[in-house]
Amino acid sequence: MNKKLAHLIIIFFDLLCFLGLWFGYHEIQRTLMYITNQADIIEFGNRVGFFIVGLIVPFGHIIAIVEYFNPELIKTYNRLLNYSTIVTFIILFGSGFIGSSWIKSRVENADYIYCSNASGVSALAKTLVYTRSIDICEELVKSKRKI
């Protein structure tokens, strides 16, 4: 009974991870749309690419399910499974860095200017604000100070 309850709890976390991945995908899609439409202000998290790292939880859960239903398979391919798990984790973390850097470089290559005074810091990431010109940045900073 405890294993079944644990799997149900982990399914909840799997769903949260997929929700985070969906959110990250739409954040990147929205940012790219703003670049295409040449919006005056683009705002996104500096770690937007790291939503893919959330796939670690479902990946681990799949391994736990396979072990639950076929423990001999896990014992037989234990070494291969360990190496593939390590490689998968490295790939996911690497893709988080690459994804975050890629979206930032896309914004900068579209001739947007980083507006550091309008950017903010939260518990998880820094919100980067880019504008089309210095004037828009200064006006944005003034409007944030009034609030």
Structural domain includes residue 120:
no
- For residue 141, is it within any domain? no
> pLDDT tens for residues 45-77?
888 778 888 888 888 888 888 888 888 888 888
Residue 131 lies inside a defined structural domain of this protein:
no
pLDDT for position 146: 67
Average pLDDT in the chain? 87
Does 18 reside within a domain?
yes
Helices and strands, number each (H, E), in the chain: 5, 4
pTM score, whole prediction: 0.77
Specify the length of the chain in residues. Answer: 147
Q: Which positions ≥6 away from 50 have C-beta within 8 Å?
A: 24, 96, 99, 100
Report the distance separating Cα 84 and Cα 78, nearest Å.
10
Low-confidence ranges of the chain (pLDDT < 50): none
Q: Could you tell me the residue range of the domain that residue 28 belongs to?
A: 2-39+47-110
**10 part of a folded domain:** yes
Number of compact structural domains in the chain: 1
Q: Within 13 A of 145's CA, how many CA atoms are on the CB side?
A: 7
Q: How many CA atoms lie within 13 A of 74 on its CB side?
A: 12
Q: Does 33 fall in a domain? A: yes
Are 46 and 125 spatial neighbours (Cβ–Cβ below 8 Å)?
A: yes
At residue 4, the pLDDT reads 80
